[in-house]
Amino acid sequence: MPSLSGALNPGVRKREVFAWAMYDFANSGYTTVVLTAVFSAYFVGAVAGGAPWATLAWTASLSLSHAIVMLSMPVIGAWADRHGAKKRLLVICTVGCVLSTAALSQVGPGAVVLGVALIVVSNVFFSWGESISAAFLPELARPEAIGRVSGWGWSFGYLGGMLALGLSLAVVLQAQSSGESAAQFVPKTMWITAGVFALASLCTFVWLRERAQIGGGRVAGLEVWARLLDTYRQARRYRDFMWLMSCAVAYQGGVAVTIALAAIYAEQVIGFAQQETMVLIFVLNIAAALGAFAFGHWQDRIGHKRALGLTLIGWTATCVIAALTTTKGGFWWAAAIAGVCMGSSQSAGRALAGLFAPPSQLAEFYGLWTFATRLASIIGPLSYGVISWATDGNQRLAIASTGALFVLGWLLLQRVDVERGREAALASA
């Protein structure tokens, strides 16, 4: 990886950063293939038979999984901090997501209940693992380089998403040339995604070190929630972290819409065929990887807040173009802007959360961050599904309303003071 000199904390080896980034590489296939490009459209069109409630059922399933994560992750994060067990929990979450993703291969037309159950389980394990992995970031990177290292992880992650999607696309094209139906070739893509996740994550478990100090003692759920409530009561002390979380609830809701519904919108509104949608998402991942890598370096220079604000403007433009365009070419423009903003906005947000987290409470504060992002993942897709269902399938109106989430996120971001937030975190060390 370039420019590592001076970016890492004392004692951190280069291969550890590679191993940490490999987890982003490993798990990105799940979001790319399962949530975005393949299984989402398959669930709505084939499993649910294109019923009027199908999109709402999909978004409600994701919202349920995010609600579970939102309520459980702070407790899990606090337990991991107390016991120095982030890596151990990461292994458990990975195994759970890999097995449940492979099990999605058994979901055929009409198996709505099984599909919903497996999506909920797999997304819960994925989200737990994503949050635990993020909590390693401040242990690896120096504060002045945290955006750069975060960007490496996101950009590397999109390469993993492209690998899983590229292999899946090859299978789909071969299957369609042989006259196979979606019910025959979609299960194969689930096995590919699970396999890439399992194999690529091995690097993480071999080389990434657990640096958290074991605090000892038992962590009870009520005790953790009391502690979290106490953190919220200290909002004056951590007010910039709280403003950042409020901002994340807004803009991450919009990002969640893109992840959960891009393929559905492309196929049902714009008229893309499934293989065209997969190519679209593949190119979007290239743009996202380049955006995350470039912004990771740029945000350390211009400031994480300014970088995040610029991406939110780009996201708003994406929603406007997607809502107004009636051509595939126009939607390609929207997808290109979304791709650049996708990794950049999430990388910048993750980096800011790391700067505002007290060093002794990294997993707990990233648990709070996950609480905010999962709340966003409930609000965004569920509001989209409700608007679409209530307006007889008017997804153009639903995507236009998503733009308002990014505008709100930009307004809330203006209340964040990065220097003040970092000082508050260090004062708690």
What pLDDT is stored for residue 79 in this prediction?
79
Q: Which residue type, as a one-letter code, is found at position 255?
A: V
**Residue 13 DSSP SS3:** coil
What pLDDT is stored for residue 96 in this prediction?
98
Cβ neighbour number for residue 181 with a 10 Å cutoff:
11
Q: Which residue type, as a one-letter code, is found at position 363?
A: A
Q: Which CATH architecture has domain 14-208+226-427?
A: Up-down Bundle (1.20)
What pLDDT is stored for residue 356 in this prediction?
86
For 303, phi then psi, to 5°, come to 105, 140
C-beta of residue 20 within 8 angstroms of C-beta of residue 153: yes
Could you report the average pLDDT of every consecutive run of 10 residues in the chain (429 residues)? 64 86 93 92 92 90 91 80 84 97 97 97 95 85 77 78 93 91 94 97 91 59 68 68 91 88 87 88 79 69 85 94 92 89 78 81 72 85 88 88 94 92 80
Inter-CA distances, 15 with 203, 262, 290, Å: 9, 35, 22
User: How far is it, in rounded angstroms, from Cα 386 to Cα 40?
Assistant: 17
Q: Which residue type, as a one-letter code, is found at position 218?
A: R
Q: What share of the chain is helix, strand, coil (3-state, %, to 5)?
A: 85, 0, 15
Sign of dihedral through CA atoms 60, 66, 70, 73?
positive
Closest by CA to 354, choosing from 299, 293, 414, 410, is 299
User: How far is it, in rounded angstroms, from Cα 140 to Cα 137?
Assistant: 5
